Amino acid sequence: MEEILKVEQISQTYQAENGELTALEEISFSVEKGEFVSIVGPSGCGKSTLLSIVAGMIRPTYGRVLLQGEPVEGISPHIGYMLQRDNLLEWRSIYQNAVLGLEIRNMLTRETAAYTESLLKAYGLWDFRDKYPSQLSGGMRQRAALIRTLAIKPEIFLLDEAFSALDYQTRLAVTDDVYHILKLEQKTILMVTHDISESISMSDRVIVLSRRPAHIARTMEIHFTDPDLTPLQRREQREFQEYFNTIWRELDVHV
């Protein structure tokens, strides 16, 4: 398989007024095209920092990130980054929200607009294109946010604790929905989460980070007997619990 993202020896040290803090220590991994990789780790271990570095929003102290062989410097146009909340702009209609990324990138042409429209049609938002975010349910809003990112045709999707602002039930449903859409669009995904179940239910591979300073404690391939299960169905499998226990032990959570 083609290697799309390569993270090489990333270390990150923060300078603050009261001292120095090492967040990440020599993190290396790679992601192949079409793969779904999750990074789990205890809260505050620097997972989100790692994702920001991959996205080019933060420059690492050491190491580098290669996207399709090119070093990432600054925010790359080939990366789609989704945050915790949908962050739809209340004063823009759903269509205007969906093209926001294109607009900011100065990529809004007849072709890209048509592509966005086809996404809205494919994922059931076409009838709502002139509605405003406050008129949509949480799940619909999440879809609109996803289309906003899909519209810029990113090579790789970064999900930063995405959906964690939703309540649990909605989150389970949205996870299924988003997973389905991302698989249909054949996207490569790197997700950061503190939720072990979520990482097992969606990923092909889980990278477990240690506590700060974070290094890779373990990488686990996730295989289910049936490869076409949805995240919700995966949760019902026998293997699910085994994976959960292994990762749980690895995380070494203390209260």
Partner 1 sequence: MFMYNQPAEKPVSKERAAYLQKQKRKKYVVRAVQISVVIVLIALWEILANVGVIDSFIMSQPSRMVKTLLNLSENGLLTHLGVTCMETLVGFLLGTALGVGLAVLLWWSDTLSRICEPFLVVLNALPKIALGPVFIVWVGAGMQAIIVMALAISLIVTVLEMLNGFLNTDEETIRMAQTFGANRRQEFTKIVMPSNLHTLFNSMKVNIGLSLVGVIAGEFLVSKAGLGYLIVYGGQVFKLDLVMTSVVILAIVAALLYQSVVIAERFVTRKMSHKN
Binding site for partner 1 (CB under 8 A): 55, 57, 74-75, 77, 80-85, 87, 89-91, 93, 100-101, 103-105, 124, 128, 130-132, 134-137, 139-140, 143, 152, 173, 177
What span, in angstroms and rounded, lies between the C-alpha atoms of 25 and 182? 31
Shortest spacing between CB 100 and partner 1, in angstroms? 7
Q: Are 203 and 38 in contact (CB under 8 A)?
A: yes
| 113 vs 173, beta carbon nearer partner 1 | 173
What span, in angstroms and rounded, lies between the C-alpha atoms of 172 and 151? 24
Shortest spacing between CB 62 and partner 1, in angstroms? 23
Query: Hey, what amino acid is at 184?
Result: L
3-state secondary structure 142-184: HHHHHHHHHCCCCCEEEEECCCCCCCHHHHHHHHHHHHHHHHH
Shortest spacing between CB 231 and partner 1, in angstroms? 14
Shortest spacing between CB 245 and partner 1, in angstroms? 30
Shortest spacing between CB 57 and partner 1, in angstroms? 7
| 112 vs 251, beta carbon nearer partner 1 | 112
Shortest spacing between CB 115 and partner 1, in angstroms? 16
| 51 vs 202, beta carbon nearer partner 1 | 51
| 139 vs 213, beta carbon nearer partner 1 | 139
N-to-C CA span, the chain? 41
What span, in angstroms and rounded, lies between the C-alpha atoms of 123 and 128? 11
| 73 vs 239, beta carbon nearer partner 1 | 73
What span, in angstroms and rounded, lies between the C-alpha atoms of 76 and 55? 7
| 135 vs 241, beta carbon nearer partner 1 | 135
What span, in angstroms and rounded, lies between the C-alpha atoms of 205 and 185? 19
What span, in angstroms and rounded, lies between the C-alpha atoms of 111 and 236? 42
